[in-house]
Amino acid sequence: MKQKPIVAEYEIIEVPFVRDGDTLWVRRRRVVGDVEGMSLISEDYAGGVAVRLDDGLQGVNTPEKRKDPAGWEEARLDLQSLVDTLWTRGDPNPILRVYDLSGVFGRILGDIIPASGMSLTKYQRDINAWPAYK
């Protein structure tokens, strides 16, 4: 399997919403230029942008709400728990690494990388044992 190239990286300001075990909304920002010694910052609107978890090699596949409501809720809570720890450890804001801006169903494909610890995609697959997206 070939690693997808990184399209962009952003600092995550917050995660306003976890949709399910493999999709969440993030508010992100990054420096996009410099004018007379002042940084120009690009930042998402308040609602954020939808991100489908993918580490550039494989995504995560969690149950759909209409097919398996109990499994969907378990996966959503697993991801919500990970998100809740991102800002409680005192680390710098995590990074959103984007692999595809055109994504599936209007979502970009990307991974959340905390300053310390493993990526959310890898954690959902390897620790929480949700299968890879095929």
Distance of alpha carbon 88 from alpha carbon 79, whole angstroms: 15
What's the pLDDT at 38? 65
Using only C-alpha atoms, the chain has a radius of gyration, in whole angstroms, of 15
* CATH code (residue 120): 2.40.50
CB 94 within 8 A of CB 37: no
13 domain-assigned: yes
Q: 73 is in which domain, residue-wise? A: 8-129
In a domain, residue 97? The reply is yes
| Domain assignment present for 1 | no
Q: What is this structure's pTM? A: 0.85
User: Are the C-beta atoms of 54 and 109 separated by less than 8 Å?
Assistant: yes
pLDDT of residue 40: 64
d(CA 99, CA 109): 6
Q: Which of 128, 131, 122 is nearest to 53 (CA)?
A: 122
Please check whether residue 114 lies inside any domain of the structure: yes
- Residue 21 included in any domain: yes
**Any domain includes 100:** yes
Q: What is the pLDDT along the chain (134 residues), one digit of tens a residue?
A: 788 889 889 889 889 999 999 999 998 888 766 677 766 667 766 678 899 999 999 999 999 999 999 999 999 999 999 998 887 767 788 999 999 887 667 789 999 999 877 899 999 999 999 999 87
Is 2 a member of any domain?
no
Cα-based angle 70, 48, 42 (whole degrees, multiple of 5): 155
- Nearest residue to 107 via CA among 94, 98, 116, 120: 98
pLDDT for 39: 63
- Count of domains for the chain: 1
8 A C-beta contact, residue 25 and residue 49: yes
Is residue 134 in some structural domain? no
